[in-house]
Structure 1
Amino acid sequence: MTAMSFSAVQRPMPSRSTALAIVAGLACALAIGKVLPVTIDSVSGVLAPLCATAAESSPLDKVEPIGSYALPNVPGKRVTIVRVSYGPGGFSRPHRHSGSVTAYITKGEIRSQLGGGPVETFGVGQSFFEPPGSTHLVSANASMTEPAELIAVFVADEGAQLTTFIE
Protein backbone atom coordinates (compact mmCIF):
# COMPACT_ATOMS: atom_id res chain seq x y z
CA MET A 1 0.00 0.00 0.00
CA THR A 2 1.40 3.40 -0.87
CA ALA A 3 1.28 6.41 1.43
CA MET A 4 -0.81 9.28 0.20
CA SER A 5 0.50 12.81 0.76
CA PHE A 6 -1.75 15.51 2.15
CA SER A 7 -1.65 17.39 -1.14
CA ALA A 8 -3.24 14.43 -2.90
CA VAL A 9 -6.25 14.30 -0.54
CA GLN A 10 -9.25 16.19 -1.87
CA ARG A 11 -11.16 18.15 0.73
CA PRO A 12 -14.60 19.66 0.11
CA MET A 13 -14.76 23.47 0.04
CA PRO A 14 -16.57 24.94 3.06
CA SER A 15 -19.89 26.65 2.42
CA ARG A 16 -19.99 30.46 2.32
CA SER A 17 -21.65 30.65 5.76
CA THR A 18 -19.06 28.27 7.22
CA ALA A 19 -16.25 30.33 5.70
CA LEU A 20 -17.75 33.55 7.14
CA ALA A 21 -18.09 31.93 10.58
CA ILE A 22 -14.45 30.82 10.43
CA VAL A 23 -13.30 34.33 9.43
CA ALA A 24 -15.39 35.91 12.22
CA GLY A 25 -13.98 33.44 14.76
CA LEU A 26 -10.43 34.14 13.63
CA ALA A 27 -11.05 37.90 13.79
CA CYS A 28 -12.37 37.54 17.36
CA ALA A 29 -9.38 35.38 18.35
CA LEU A 30 -6.98 37.90 16.80
CA ALA A 31 -8.69 40.79 18.59
CA ILE A 32 -8.53 38.92 21.91
CA GLY A 33 -4.85 38.13 21.38
CA LYS A 34 -4.03 41.77 20.69
CA VAL A 35 -5.81 43.13 23.77
CA LEU A 36 -5.15 40.47 26.43
CA PRO A 37 -2.92 42.77 28.52
CA VAL A 38 -5.76 45.28 28.95
CA THR A 39 -8.81 45.12 31.21
CA ILE A 40 -11.88 43.00 30.47
CA ASP A 41 -13.96 46.17 29.85
CA SER A 42 -11.57 47.19 27.09
CA VAL A 43 -11.75 43.70 25.56
CA SER A 44 -15.55 43.90 25.44
CA GLY A 45 -15.39 47.27 23.69
CA VAL A 46 -12.96 46.01 21.05
CA LEU A 47 -14.85 42.78 20.37
CA ALA A 48 -18.39 44.14 20.37
CA PRO A 49 -18.66 44.98 16.65
CA LEU A 50 -16.96 41.71 15.65
CA CYS A 51 -18.61 39.26 18.01
CA ALA A 52 -22.05 40.86 18.40
CA THR A 53 -21.70 41.33 22.15
CA ALA A 54 -23.26 44.27 23.88
CA ALA A 55 -20.75 46.77 25.18
CA GLU A 56 -20.39 50.36 23.95
CA SER A 57 -21.77 52.11 20.91
CA SER A 58 -19.68 53.38 18.00
CA PRO A 59 -18.78 57.08 17.84
CA LEU A 60 -20.86 57.17 14.63
CA ASP A 61 -23.98 56.21 16.61
CA LYS A 62 -26.01 59.07 18.03
CA VAL A 63 -29.35 60.02 19.51
CA GLU A 64 -30.64 63.50 18.62
CA PRO A 65 -33.70 65.05 20.28
CA ILE A 66 -36.31 66.32 17.82
CA GLY A 67 -39.03 67.48 20.18
CA SER A 68 -40.76 66.91 23.51
CA TYR A 69 -44.32 67.98 24.32
CA ALA A 70 -46.64 67.66 27.30
CA LEU A 71 -49.88 65.89 26.38
CA PRO A 72 -52.63 68.30 27.53
CA ASN A 73 -55.36 65.66 27.21
CA VAL A 74 -53.35 63.11 29.27
CA PRO A 75 -52.13 64.88 32.42
CA GLY A 76 -48.68 63.78 33.62
CA LYS A 77 -47.69 62.28 30.23
CA ARG A 78 -45.22 63.58 27.63
CA VAL A 79 -44.42 62.62 24.04
CA THR A 80 -40.73 62.80 23.10
CA ILE A 81 -39.33 62.28 19.59
CA VAL A 82 -35.69 61.38 18.87
CA ARG A 83 -33.61 60.43 15.83
CA VAL A 84 -31.34 57.40 16.39
CA SER A 85 -28.51 57.10 13.86
CA TYR A 86 -26.28 54.02 13.62
CA GLY A 87 -23.05 53.98 11.67
CA PRO A 88 -22.08 50.83 9.78
CA GLY A 89 -22.18 47.94 12.27
CA GLY A 90 -23.49 50.29 14.97
CA PHE A 91 -25.70 49.21 17.84
CA SER A 92 -27.09 50.12 21.26
CA ARG A 93 -26.40 47.92 24.23
CA PRO A 94 -29.40 46.20 25.86
CA HIS A 95 -31.82 48.62 27.49
CA ARG A 96 -35.41 49.30 28.46
CA HIS A 97 -37.64 52.33 28.22
CA SER A 98 -39.96 53.72 30.89
CA GLY A 99 -42.81 54.37 28.48
CA SER A 100 -44.21 53.11 25.19
CA VAL A 101 -41.98 53.50 22.12
CA THR A 102 -42.85 53.37 18.44
CA ALA A 103 -39.88 53.28 16.07
CA TYR A 104 -40.07 54.17 12.36
CA ILE A 105 -37.13 53.27 10.08
CA THR A 106 -36.01 56.15 7.85
CA LYS A 107 -32.69 54.84 6.47
CA GLY A 108 -31.13 51.40 6.00
CA GLU A 109 -32.21 48.36 7.99
CA ILE A 110 -32.45 47.89 11.76
CA ARG A 111 -32.21 44.58 13.63
CA SER A 112 -34.33 44.47 16.78
CA GLN A 113 -35.14 41.94 19.49
CA LEU A 114 -37.50 42.47 22.41
CA GLY A 115 -37.40 40.20 25.46
CA GLY A 116 -37.25 36.57 24.43
CA GLY A 117 -38.77 37.24 21.01
CA PRO A 118 -37.12 36.64 17.64
CA VAL A 119 -34.52 38.96 16.13
CA GLU A 120 -36.34 40.86 13.39
CA THR A 121 -35.03 43.13 10.63
CA PHE A 122 -36.98 46.26 9.67
CA GLY A 123 -36.42 48.35 6.53
CA VAL A 124 -37.27 51.88 5.44
CA GLY A 125 -40.95 52.63 5.98
CA GLN A 126 -41.49 49.86 8.53
CA SER A 127 -42.10 50.36 12.23
CA PHE A 128 -42.13 48.41 15.49
CA PHE A 129 -43.60 48.96 18.95
CA GLU A 130 -42.03 48.48 22.39
CA PRO A 131 -44.42 48.16 25.34
CA PRO A 132 -43.42 49.99 28.55
CA GLY A 133 -40.65 48.22 30.47
CA SER A 134 -39.87 45.68 27.75
CA THR A 135 -36.23 44.62 27.44
CA HIS A 136 -34.70 45.69 24.13
CA LEU A 137 -31.91 43.11 23.76
CA VAL A 138 -30.88 43.93 20.17
CA SER A 139 -31.04 47.34 18.52
CA ALA A 140 -28.50 47.47 15.70
CA ASN A 141 -27.71 48.48 12.16
CA ALA A 142 -28.14 45.37 10.02
CA SER A 143 -25.38 46.57 7.65
CA MET A 144 -21.63 46.64 8.24
CA THR A 145 -21.15 49.08 5.33
CA GLU A 146 -24.12 51.50 5.24
CA PRO A 147 -25.64 53.78 7.92
CA ALA A 148 -29.15 53.25 9.34
CA GLU A 149 -31.57 55.54 11.11
CA LEU A 150 -34.88 55.47 12.94
CA ILE A 151 -37.23 57.96 14.53
CA ALA A 152 -38.42 56.90 18.00
CA VAL A 153 -41.59 58.32 19.56
CA PHE A 154 -41.82 57.86 23.33
CA VAL A 155 -44.96 58.31 25.44
CA ALA A 156 -43.92 58.32 29.10
CA ASP A 157 -44.56 59.92 32.46
CA GLU A 158 -43.49 63.55 32.76
CA GLY A 159 -39.88 63.67 34.03
CA ALA A 160 -39.23 59.92 33.49
CA GLN A 161 -35.79 58.66 32.47
CA LEU A 162 -36.59 57.44 28.96
CA THR A 163 -33.77 54.89 28.54
CA THR A 164 -32.07 52.68 31.14
CA PHE A 165 -29.17 50.49 30.06
CA ILE A 166 -29.07 46.93 31.36
CA GLU A 167 -25.80 45.92 32.98
Structure 2
Amino acid sequence: MSSTISVISAMPWRPQSRPLSLAIVAGLACALALGKALPSTMDAVSGALAPLCANAAEGSPLDKVEPIGSYALPNVPGKRVTIVRVTYGPGGFSRPHRHAGSVTAYITKGEIRSQLGGGPVETFTVGQSFFEPPGSTHLVSANASNTEPAELIAVFVADEGAQLTTFIN
Protein backbone atom coordinates (compact mmCIF):
# COMPACT_ATOMS: atom_id res chain seq x y z
CA MET A 1 0.00 0.00 0.00
CA SER A 2 2.83 2.39 0.78
CA SER A 3 4.10 2.20 -2.82
CA THR A 4 0.67 3.26 -4.05
CA ILE A 5 0.60 6.19 -1.62
CA SER A 6 4.09 7.36 -2.59
CA VAL A 7 3.24 7.19 -6.29
CA ILE A 8 0.05 9.15 -5.78
CA SER A 9 1.63 11.76 -3.53
CA ALA A 10 4.32 12.35 -6.16
CA MET A 11 1.74 13.11 -8.83
CA PRO A 12 1.24 16.75 -9.84
CA TRP A 13 -2.32 17.20 -8.56
CA ARG A 14 -3.62 20.73 -8.21
CA PRO A 15 -5.55 21.50 -5.03
CA GLN A 16 -8.19 23.43 -7.00
CA SER A 17 -8.99 20.35 -9.14
CA ARG A 18 -12.61 19.33 -8.91
CA PRO A 19 -14.32 16.01 -9.23
CA LEU A 20 -15.22 15.01 -12.69
CA SER A 21 -17.93 12.76 -11.81
CA LEU A 22 -19.01 10.14 -9.59
CA ALA A 23 -18.99 7.11 -11.54
CA ILE A 24 -17.41 4.09 -10.33
CA VAL A 25 -16.89 1.52 -7.70
CA ALA A 26 -16.76 -2.19 -8.07
CA GLY A 27 -16.02 -2.85 -4.48
CA LEU A 28 -13.47 -1.02 -2.41
CA ALA A 29 -12.08 -4.16 -0.85
CA CYS A 30 -11.57 -5.79 -4.25
CA ALA A 31 -9.99 -2.64 -5.65
CA LEU A 32 -7.55 -2.32 -2.76
CA ALA A 33 -6.59 -5.97 -3.00
CA LEU A 34 -6.00 -5.51 -6.72
CA GLY A 35 -3.94 -2.42 -5.96
CA LYS A 36 -1.62 -4.40 -3.70
CA ALA A 37 -1.27 -7.23 -6.18
CA LEU A 38 -0.46 -5.34 -9.37
CA PRO A 39 2.60 -3.14 -9.95
CA SER A 40 2.33 0.24 -11.65
CA THR A 41 4.67 3.04 -12.59
CA MET A 42 4.24 6.74 -11.92
CA ASP A 43 3.96 7.45 -15.65
CA ALA A 44 1.21 4.88 -16.12
CA VAL A 45 -0.75 6.15 -13.12
CA SER A 46 -0.45 9.84 -13.99
CA GLY A 47 -1.31 9.19 -17.65
CA ALA A 48 -4.43 7.24 -16.78
CA LEU A 49 -5.60 9.68 -14.11
CA ALA A 50 -4.83 12.97 -15.89
CA PRO A 51 -8.37 13.32 -17.32
CA LEU A 52 -9.75 13.21 -13.77
CA CYS A 53 -8.20 16.60 -12.94
CA ALA A 54 -10.55 18.56 -15.15
CA ASN A 55 -12.37 21.42 -13.46
CA ALA A 56 -15.65 19.51 -13.22
CA ALA A 57 -17.29 20.51 -9.98
CA GLU A 58 -19.11 23.77 -9.56
CA GLY A 59 -21.13 23.37 -6.40
CA SER A 60 -18.62 23.48 -3.53
CA PRO A 61 -15.01 24.51 -3.01
CA LEU A 62 -14.64 21.27 -0.99
CA ASP A 63 -15.25 19.03 -4.03
CA LYS A 64 -12.24 16.94 -5.02
CA VAL A 65 -11.04 13.79 -6.78
CA GLU A 66 -8.23 11.82 -5.16
CA PRO A 67 -6.50 9.09 -7.17
CA ILE A 68 -6.19 5.75 -5.43
CA GLY A 69 -4.52 3.77 -8.22
CA SER A 70 -4.47 2.70 -11.83
CA TYR A 71 -3.42 -0.72 -13.05
CA ALA A 72 -3.17 -2.58 -16.35
CA LEU A 73 -5.31 -5.73 -16.34
CA PRO A 74 -2.92 -8.53 -17.33
CA ASN A 75 -5.74 -10.99 -18.03
CA VAL A 76 -7.55 -8.47 -20.28
CA PRO A 77 -4.97 -7.05 -22.71
CA GLY A 78 -5.48 -3.37 -23.56
CA LYS A 79 -7.69 -2.66 -20.51
CA ARG A 80 -6.94 -0.72 -17.31
CA VAL A 81 -8.72 -0.34 -13.97
CA THR A 82 -8.55 3.12 -12.37
CA ILE A 83 -9.79 3.84 -8.85
CA VAL A 84 -10.56 7.29 -7.42
CA ARG A 85 -12.19 8.80 -4.34
CA VAL A 86 -14.71 11.52 -5.22
CA THR A 87 -15.66 13.91 -2.41
CA TYR A 88 -18.50 16.38 -2.78
CA GLY A 89 -18.78 19.20 -0.25
CA PRO A 90 -22.25 20.36 0.80
CA GLY A 91 -24.18 21.18 -2.38
CA GLY A 92 -21.32 19.90 -4.57
CA PHE A 93 -21.84 18.45 -8.02
CA SER A 94 -20.20 17.63 -11.35
CA ARG A 95 -21.45 18.97 -14.65
CA PRO A 96 -22.91 16.49 -17.19
CA HIS A 97 -20.40 14.06 -18.69
CA ARG A 98 -19.81 10.57 -20.05
CA HIS A 99 -17.08 7.99 -19.50
CA ALA A 100 -15.08 5.95 -22.01
CA GLY A 101 -15.44 2.67 -20.12
CA SER A 102 -17.58 1.00 -17.51
CA VAL A 103 -17.84 2.72 -14.14
CA THR A 104 -19.04 1.41 -10.79
CA ALA A 105 -19.55 3.79 -7.86
CA TYR A 106 -19.73 2.78 -4.19
CA ILE A 107 -21.03 5.34 -1.68
CA THR A 108 -18.82 5.64 1.43
CA LYS A 109 -20.25 8.81 3.06
CA GLY A 110 -23.51 10.77 2.83
CA GLU A 111 -25.95 10.52 -0.07
CA ILE A 112 -25.31 10.92 -3.81
CA ARG A 113 -27.92 11.86 -6.44
CA SER A 114 -27.34 10.38 -9.89
CA GLN A 115 -29.15 10.34 -13.22
CA LEU A 116 -28.08 8.45 -16.33
CA GLY A 117 -29.47 9.31 -19.76
CA GLY A 118 -33.21 9.80 -19.64
CA GLY A 119 -33.62 7.65 -16.53
CA PRO A 120 -34.93 8.82 -13.15
CA VAL A 121 -32.86 10.78 -10.64
CA GLU A 122 -31.89 8.28 -7.94
CA THR A 123 -30.40 8.82 -4.49
CA PHE A 124 -27.79 6.36 -3.21
CA THR A 125 -26.72 6.05 0.44
CA VAL A 126 -23.71 4.58 2.27
CA GLY A 127 -23.11 0.98 1.23
CA GLN A 128 -25.05 1.23 -2.04
CA SER A 129 -23.52 1.24 -5.51
CA PHE A 130 -24.50 2.02 -9.08
CA PHE A 131 -23.14 1.13 -12.52
CA GLU A 132 -22.61 3.26 -15.62
CA PRO A 133 -22.26 1.40 -18.94
CA PRO A 134 -19.66 2.75 -21.39
CA GLY A 135 -20.80 5.93 -23.15
CA SER A 136 -23.73 6.60 -20.79
CA THR A 137 -24.66 10.25 -20.37
CA HIS A 138 -24.33 11.12 -16.67
CA LEU A 139 -26.67 14.09 -16.37
CA VAL A 140 -26.77 14.39 -12.55
CA SER A 141 -23.85 13.61 -10.25
CA ALA A 142 -24.28 15.49 -6.97
CA ASN A 143 -24.25 15.54 -3.19
CA ALA A 144 -27.87 15.16 -2.06
CA SER A 145 -27.18 17.37 0.99
CA ASN A 146 -26.56 21.11 1.22
CA THR A 147 -25.16 20.75 4.76
CA GLU A 148 -23.13 17.49 4.90
CA PRO A 149 -20.30 16.13 2.68
CA ALA A 150 -20.68 13.01 0.54
CA GLU A 151 -18.09 10.62 -0.83
CA LEU A 152 -17.82 7.68 -3.19
CA ILE A 153 -15.15 5.37 -4.54
CA ALA A 154 -15.27 5.08 -8.32
CA VAL A 155 -13.76 2.22 -10.34
CA PHE A 156 -13.28 2.71 -14.08
CA VAL A 157 -12.54 -0.15 -16.47
CA ALA A 158 -11.55 1.31 -19.84
CA ASP A 159 -9.19 0.94 -22.77
CA GLU A 160 -5.54 1.66 -22.03
CA GLY A 161 -4.86 5.35 -22.73
CA ALA A 162 -8.56 6.32 -23.07
CA GLN A 163 -9.77 9.73 -21.92
CA LEU A 164 -11.86 8.60 -18.95
CA THR A 165 -14.26 11.55 -18.82
CA THR A 166 -15.70 13.84 -21.48
CA PHE A 167 -17.82 16.78 -20.40
CA ILE A 168 -21.02 17.65 -22.25
CA ASN A 169 -21.53 21.31 -23.16
TM range (shorter): 0.5 to 0.7
Q: CA deviation at 1:120?
A: 0.1
User: Which residue is 2:67 aligned to?
Assistant: 65
Cα RMSD (Å)? 1.3
Per the alignment, in what secondary structure is the counterpart of residue 73 of structure 1?
coil
Unpaired runs of at least 5, structure 1: 1-53
**1:29-73 Cα deviation digits (max 9, x unpaired):** xxxxxxxxxxxxxxxxxxxxxxxxx98342211111100000000
Structure 1 stretches of 4+ with a deviation exceeding 6 A read none
Rounded to whole Å, the distance in 1 between the matches of 2:146 and 2:60 is 12
Unpaired runs of at least 5, structure 2: 1-55
Q: CA deviation at 1:134?
A: 0.2
Q: Is the 8 A contact 1:57 1:93 kept in 2?
A: no
- Number of residue pairs the alignment of both structures matches: 114
TM-score between both structures, scaled by the size of structure 1: 0.66
Rounded to whole Å, the distance in 2 between the matches of 1:101 and 1:143 is 23
User: Which structure has the greater CA radius of gyration?
Assistant: 1
Answer 1 or 2: higher relative contact order, Cα 8 Å, separation at least 6. Answer: 2
Q: Which amino acid aligns with 1:73?
A: N
User: Which residue is 1:151 aligned to?
Assistant: 153
Match for residue 163 of structure 2 among 158, 161, 165 = 161
Rounded to whole Å, the distance in 2 between the matches of 1:67 and 1:162 is 14
**Matches of residues 88-127 of structure 1 in structure 2 within 5 Å?**
88-127=90-129
Q: Is the 8 A contact 2:82 2:156 kept in 1?
A: yes
